[in-house]
């Protein structure tokens, strides 16, 4: 196994051994299960509630894992002084960053896969009496939504890793990463503010902010699903492509900061 793979696997094992991972995973699964007991709603409203609540629970659980793991990436290594031992060996800093990043991605993937599987099983059990064509389309759209959730969390993880390299305070890293996360979810509002502000300097700041923040609201298609709109691959591919570009840029910035960082 390569150096990057070894670091990634160790990061994943360390994350799984933490109680917080198990707690978040169990809490998310319980939330998904609870959403299926709201049988007093009408059929259409119940389906919308299960979809919205289920996908929201998966996103929330994944967000917590991405932020807390990523934000403590470098500070925890410094605190335990393990980073000195690792970098003293013939381990390139790029391999170290990539290994940690892939370890977080693997952790997030396991979380999204397990919760997503439970979600789809519960959804199918609730909707199995519907027409096959409608159910098949719904399951496909939900699968696409889960793919977008995963890539959104990978983007968030790349941000958390880059932030973790820049600052040594875990609390600061968490706050900054959360700020970027929530700003990314209201990125469409920046366009509206830019068009309706009378102050040139305010518009300029908003344009700069809009350019740099990730457009995370593009990954959230719950509104489309609730409205019954189809989720086409022509929407998926550009969104996923933009995610890959942002991930590469974030990891590159993290590496550049980490390259010259002294411990």
pLDDT digits (tens, 9 = 90+) for 116-151: 999 988 888 776 656 555 677 778 889 999 999 999
DSSP SS3 for 251: helix
The two structure tokens encoding residue 47: 């389906």
The two structure tokens encoding residue 121: 């099983």
Q: What is the mean pLDDT of residues 174-182?
A: 89
The two structure tokens encoding residue 124: 């199918």
Comparing C-alpha atoms, which of 159, 144, 182 is closest to residue 248? 159
Cα–Cα distance, 100 to 106 (Å, whole number): 10
Q: For 19-76, how does the pLDDT look when each residue is reduced to its tens digit (9 = 90+)?
A: 778 888 888 888 887 776 665 555 567 777 888 888 888 999 999 999 988 888 777 7
The two structure tokens encoding residue 212: 């740099």
Burial of 183 (0-12, 13-18, 19+ CB in 10 A): middle
Residue found by looking up tokens 């059990």 in the block: 125
Q: pLDDT exceeding 70 applies to what percent of the chain?
A: 85
Radius of gyration of the chain (CA): 20
Comparing C-alpha atoms, which of 208, 170, 8 is closest to residue 91? 8
Residues in the chain, how many? Answer: 263
Cα–Cα distance, 51 to 125 (Å, whole number): 13
CA angle at 197 for the pair 192 and 202, rounded to the nearest 5°? 105
DSSP SS3 for 120: helix
What is the DSSP secondary structure assignment for residue 40, as one 8-state letter? T
What is Dmax (Cα atoms) for the chain?
Answer: 63
Q: For 147-171, how does the pLDDT look when each residue is reduced to its tens digit (9 = 90+)?
A: 999 999 999 999 999 888 887 788 8
Q: pLDDT exceeding 90 applies to what percent of the chain?
A: 22
CA angle at 148 for the pair 70 and 96, rounded to the nearest 5°? 30
Cα–Cα distance, 166 to 186 (Å, whole number): 25
Q: Measure Cα distances from 110 to 72, 103, 145, 147 in Å.
A: 20, 11, 16, 13
């Amino acid at each position: 196994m390569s150096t990057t793979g070894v670091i990634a696997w160790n990061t994943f094992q360390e994350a799984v051994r933490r109680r917080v991972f198990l707690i978040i995973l169990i809490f998310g699964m319980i939330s998904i299960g609870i959403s299926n007991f709201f049988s007093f709603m009408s059929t259409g409203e119940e389906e919308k509630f299960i979809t919205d609540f289920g996908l929201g629970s998966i996103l929330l659980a994944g967000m917590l894992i991405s932020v807390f793991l990523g934000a403590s990436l470098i500070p925890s290594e410094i605190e335990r002084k393990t980073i000195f031992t690792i970098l003293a060996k013939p381990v390139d800093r790029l391999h170290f960053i990539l290994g940690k990043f892939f370890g977080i991605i693997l952790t997030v993937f396991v979380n999204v896969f397990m919760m997503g599987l439970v979600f789809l099983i519960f959804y199918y059990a609730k909707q199995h009496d519907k027409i096959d064509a409608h159910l098949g389309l719904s399951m496909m759209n939900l699968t696409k939504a889960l793919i977008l959730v995963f890539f959104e969390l990978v983007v968030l993880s790349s941000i958390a890793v880059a932030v973790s390299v820049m600052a040594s305070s875990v609390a600061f890293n968490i706050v900054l990463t959360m700020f970027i996360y929530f700003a990314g979810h209201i990125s469409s509002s920046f366009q509206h503010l830019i068009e309706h502000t009378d102050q040139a300097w305010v518009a300029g700041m908003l344009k700069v902010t809009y350019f740099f923040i990730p457009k995370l609201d593009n990954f959230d298609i719950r509104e489309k699903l609730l409205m019954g709109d189809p989720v086409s691959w022509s929407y998926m591919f550009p969104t996923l492509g933009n995610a890959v570009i942002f991930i590469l840029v974030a990891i590159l910035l993290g590496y550049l900061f980490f390259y010259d960082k002294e411990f």
